[in-house]
Structure formats: structure tokens, C-alpha cells
Structure 1
Amino acid sequence: MAECKPCITLMEEWLKLTKASTTVKVDATLYRSIVGSLRYLVHMTPDIAFTMGYVSRFMEDSKEDNWAAVKRLLRYIKGTVDQGIVFPKTDGSRLQLTVFSDVDMAGDID
């Protein structure tokens, strides 16, 4: 993936992964290794938290469509490697953190 084309979105729009997928199985060890390695990035780039949780559901029985979602996540990370959270030093005033979230749990097939 070192020479892959970066992308600016985490997941394809309206992506619906399911455990009942009929696509070909992929190497479970490689899938688990990459997803597990990316988990530490959630602390520095929380925008990937939902996608990481989503692809982590399929670590037991990973298929080709799950693998495609992980590869897209890797392409997103390559395109946003210079972005992250910065906690600036303040003059003693309180740090204010504002977070926004948009979740579609009703669209979850499983």
C-alpha cells in the first residue's frame, strides 16, 4: 500500500458490510494484524474510530469486501498523514474540546 493512491473519504457512501457475505475469504491473520496495528491511530486521529469499529466486527471471518474497506481506510490514512489532534499549551485557561458525531446504527445490517 506504500504506492497506493490516497483518498479523502473513510468509507464508500452507503457501504453495508455483513457477516453473511458470499465473497471470497481473505487471510485472517493478515486482516487481524493490519486492523490491530491501526487501533493505536484512533487516539491521534479519532475520525477513523467508527470505521475501525466497523471493520473490527469482521476479524473472525473476514471476506474480500471487508478487506476492501480496510484498504480504503489505509488509503485515507495515507492521504491524511499530516493531520491529527494537537493540544496546544495554554496560559492556564481551560481547554475546550468540541466533538461532533453522525452515526447511522439503524442502517446496520447485522
Structure 2
Amino acid sequence: MRNIGCLRYLLHTRPDLSFSVGVLSRYMQSPKVSHEAALEVVLWYLKGTCDYGICFKRAEESRVVGYSDSSHNVDEDDGRSTTGHVFYYADCPITWSSHKQETVALSSCEAEFMAATDAAKQAIWLQDLQGEIQ
């Protein structure tokens, strides 16, 4: 499982790995055979997508677009939901996140609101940053 550190480093330019690396990171203390197998799948995916990355292109429209999502109560260990968001600028991801929510959501609607709240915080930060740049 020492490869997890290397995978976490790749997350700086590979948002497509966020969820799988996040899940694998949860089991670093006591990995099981199934986690080793899942790591192998991620490594095979990496081998097939080694030319993926972030490429910024000049665009006519320069607006930030964001999306958020969550999965409700899929972690059998503690019942917490996984939440994530991604923001694009000129069709290129500029910031993203995937992590377990800090509290247990009682419904899928509540989990979605928690995800949207995290995304809104990031959107406010991006708006402030964009204001300082301009």
C-alpha cells in the first residue's frame, strides 16, 4: 500500500483518481487482500491512461462552472457519505475534491446539501480569487 502516497501525489493533476485513491487511503492502516486487488486495478487504469492530464486552452468564454455530488451512506464502517465537487474554467478542471462527510447524513437529500455546501464554499473562494486577479 506504499503506492498510495504516489497516487495521492498524482491527484494534483488527475481528478479522475480522486474517488478511488480516497477510498484506498481509508484502509492504509490495515489493508486486506481486496484493497490490494483494488490498488492493482487503479494501477492498471493508470498504465492505460498515462497520457491523461490537465491541458489549458484559450477559450472564448471564461466562466467558472462547478458541480457537486454525494453518495448517501455507502460506507458500512461508519455510515458517512462520500461527497465531491469539481470546478471547470474554460472546460478544464481547476479544483476538485472527493472525501467523506464529517457527519452522518440522515437522508440522501441531506447528503446532497452537505456536498453543495462544500462546493459553495469553494465557489466563493474561487470568486474572490478571480476578483483579485482581475
Question: Does TM, scored on the shorter chain, surpass 0.5?
Answer: yes
Distance change in 2, residues 1:57/1:40 (3 Å):
same
The alignment status of 1:82 with 2:28, answered yes or no, reads: no
Distance change in 2, residues 1:97/1:51 (3 Å):
farther
Q: Which amino acid aligns with 1:49?
A: S
The alignment status of 1:106 with 2:67, answered yes or no, reads: no
Distance change in 2, residues 1:97/1:84 (3 Å):
farther
Cα distance between partner residues in 1 of 2:46 and 2:68: 19
Residue aligning to 2:37 = 68
Distance change in 2, residues 1:107/1:46 (3 Å):
same
Residue 43 of structure 1: CA displacement? 1.2
Higher relative contact order (CA 8 A, sep 6+): 1
Q: Secondary structure at the match of 1:106?
A: coil
Residue aligning to 2:87 = none
Higher strand share: 2
Residue 38 of structure 1: CA displacement? 1.2
Cα distance between partner residues in 1 of 2:55 and 2:23: 26
Cα distance between partner residues in 1 of 2:16 and 2:66: 10
Q: CA RMSD in A?
A: 2.1
Residue aligning to 2:109 = none
Q: Which amino acid aligns with 1:44?
A: T
Cα distance between partner residues in 2 of 1:80 and 1:101: 24
Residue 104 of structure 1: CA displacement? 2.2
Residue aligning to 1:54 = 23
